[in-house]
Amino acid sequence: MKREAETGAPATLWDRTRRLASQEILETALRLFTEQGYDETTIAQIAREAGVSQRTLFRYFGAKEDLLGGGQDRFAQVLTDTIGGLPAETGVWEALRAGITAVLDLHDGRDQALERFRLLHGTASLRAGWLEKRLRFQDDLLPLVKARMDGAAGSVDARARAVIATAFACLDAASMTWVADDGRGDIMDLYDECLAAVRG
């Protein structure tokens, strides 16, 4: 109920219908990607199995890779909004952890998150796209992270970039470990372990 959360107004029938259609398309795409492979699944096939036209599908999702994650731009927005909305005294590592947690919470449950990470780490084209987007995310986060860092020692810009890159590298290590363990344990506990290893 994102609309209700943002505006305080109840979602309209159109909003609910759109959300349900979007969810049906995402679930269909994820099932086909899992069964056949991401690269082997076509947009036409997803649209046909979801019961919509390709034109309708593209009104909901701008690109094939958005069908895996529901839109990387939304992830970036949640990440920056969460970190930007925290009190100024929140430490940089705590802020990044809160942002990552908020993004992971966008998944509709543990099984869906596991399948998405499995596809991401097992598909070369998706990995390449994720690395490209990650660089953009890092640029978006740079001013927010710099604002939380002490400028006394060395280049704040370089240190902020290193901190952001480390957080994303720890998320990658945690998610790859989580997938290899077939989703056992908690991904954020693994993230904390990875970060502790780097910082320790």
Q: Which domains does the chain have, with CATH numbers?
A: 2-67 (1.10.10.60), 71-199 (1.10.357.10)
Most confident of 3-17, 27-41, 53-67, 127-141: 27-41
pLDDT at 109: 83
Tens-digit pLDDT profile for residues 35-76? 998 889 999 999 999 999 988 888 888 778 778 765 567 788
* 175 in Cβ contact with 117 (< 8 Å): yes
Residue 102: which of 118, 84, 127, 123 has the closest Cα? 84
pTM for this prediction:
0.78
Average pLDDT of the residues of the chain: 86
Tokens standing for 159?
A: 């240190």
* 5 in Cβ contact with 90 (< 8 Å): no
pLDDT at 76: 85
Residue 133: which of 47, 60, 63 has the closest Cα? 63
* 97 in Cβ contact with 82 (< 8 Å): no
pLDDT at 10: 65
* 159 in Cβ contact with 92 (< 8 Å): no
pLDDT at 3: 37
Tens-digit pLDDT profile for residues 19-41? 777 888 888 988 899 899 888 99
Q: Dihedral sign for Cα 18, 23, 28, 33, please.
A: positive
